[in-house]
Amino acid sequence: QIRLRCQKGIPPSLRGRAWQYLSGSKVKLEQNIGKFDELDLLPGEPKWLDVIERDLHRQFPFHEMFVSRGGHGQQDLFRVLKAYTLYRPEEGYCQAQAPIAAVPDVPMHRLGTHPLSLGLQQAFWCLVQICEKYLPGYYSEKLEAIQLDGQILFSLLHKVSPVAYKHLSKQKIDPILYMTEWFMCAFSRTLPWSSVLRVWDMFFCEGRSFRVGLVLLKHTLGSSDKLKSCQGQYETMERLRALSPKIMQETFLVQEV
């Protein structure tokens, strides 16, 4: 029943709380009372602070929470990412973690209003859960986990869309060339915001979704008509970078997934 509800879409008023329970971030917070506050008060490593600061304005620039430099959305995101670099100093910060942290920050922001709000703490523990439970190894230097998932995606594509599989094989396009941002950012940098929320409802319930990647590949390269303008490697990559708005639209995408 929960899986079906997540596939249908979690109501916006419940999304923040639902994501807490689905991800386990609520339990994580309860097991670590005061930990985020402690990390939040520490100065942080200068090399990570500079990189995080430069990335803040790139996250969802059209969303009201992140539109203004120094606004509460960017400030909250900075605090969550800084705290994570202190929580996992051996891992530090990876650019793909900024959108990963920004997505939960929106529905969870509503859970509290004071400076060290419950919502901000939950966004932090949600990020921890994503990095440790949902996408383990994704942000390591050598990207072994993402390369493995790329091979899994490609193998599944052979069954779902032989035409797309054959074309990518013929062009010698390695999965890591087109799916790295999709998977490392859990599609948050690829899809429109309404679709991101629906995909993340399923993501927190079922784990990372190969199906979303398969839908994008199938409907971009899955027929001879679609391949007419993708004769070479360059044209194919350009098509995968500029996906059709129709296939990313919430209703179509979720139905296909």
98-142 confidence digits (pLDDT tens): 889 888 877 775 554 433 456 788 999 999 999 999 999 898 777
What pLDDT band is residue 231 in, cutting at 50, 70 and 90? confident
Structure tokens at 58: 């790139």
pTM of the model: 0.88
| Helix/strand/coil percentages in the chain, nearest 5 | 70, 0, 30
Please give the residue range of the domain that contains residue 27.
Answer: 1-134
What pLDDT band is residue 70 in, cutting at 50, 70 and 90? low
Asked whether residue 39 falls in the same domain as residue 165, the answer is no
Asked whether residue 151 falls in the same domain as residue 125, the answer is no
Asked whether residue 125 falls in the same domain as residue 243, the answer is no
Asked whether residue 117 falls in the same domain as residue 1, the answer is yes
Structure tokens at 8: 């249908």
Q: Looking at per-residue confidence, does 173 or 63 come out higher?
A: 173
> Where is the domain boundary, 91, 108, 134?
134
Asked whether residue 114 falls in the same domain as residue 11, the answer is yes
Q: Report d(CA 9, CA 198) in Å as an integer.
A: 6
Q: Is residue 139 part of a domain?
A: no
Does position 212 have pLDDT exceeding 50, yes or no?
Answer: yes
Per-residue pLDDT at 109: 59
Asked whether residue 130 falls in the same domain as residue 20, the answer is yes
Q: Looking at per-residue confidence, does 247 or 226 come out higher?
A: 247
Does position 148 have pLDDT exceeding 80, yes or no?
Answer: yes
> Where is the domain boundary, 111, 134, 157?
134
Per-residue pLDDT at 110: 56
Does position 58 have pLDDT exceeding 80, yes or no?
Answer: no
Structure tokens at 130: 């994503």
Asked whether residue 85 falls in the same domain as residue 23, the answer is yes
Domain count for the chain, please give it: 2
Mean pLDDT value of segment 217-236: 91
What pLDDT band is residue 68 in, cutting at 50, 70 and 90? low
Asked whether residue 2 falls in the same domain as residue 47, the answer is yes
Asked whether residue 3 falls in the same domain as residue 126, the answer is yes
Q: CB atoms < 10 A from the CB of 129, how many?
A: 22
Burial 204-237 (b: 16+ CB within 10 A, else e): bbeebbbbbbbbbbbbbbbeeebbeebeeeeebe
Per-residue pLDDT at 74: 82
Mean pLDDT of the chain: 88
Per-residue pLDDT at 62: 64
* CATH number of the CATH domain containing 103: 1.10.8.270
Does position 214 have pLDDT exceeding 90, yes or no?
Answer: yes
Backbone angles phi, psi at 67, to 5 degrees: -70, -35
Q: Percentage of residues in the chain with pLDDT exceeding 70?
A: 90
Per-residue pLDDT at 124: 94
CB–CB of 104/127 below 8 Å?
yes
| Local structure of residue 172 (DSSP, 8 states) | T
Asked whether residue 130 falls in the same domain as residue 5, the answer is yes
Residue 197: strand, helix, or coil: helix
Q: Is residue 153 part of a domain?
A: yes
Mean pLDDT value of segment 23-41: 94
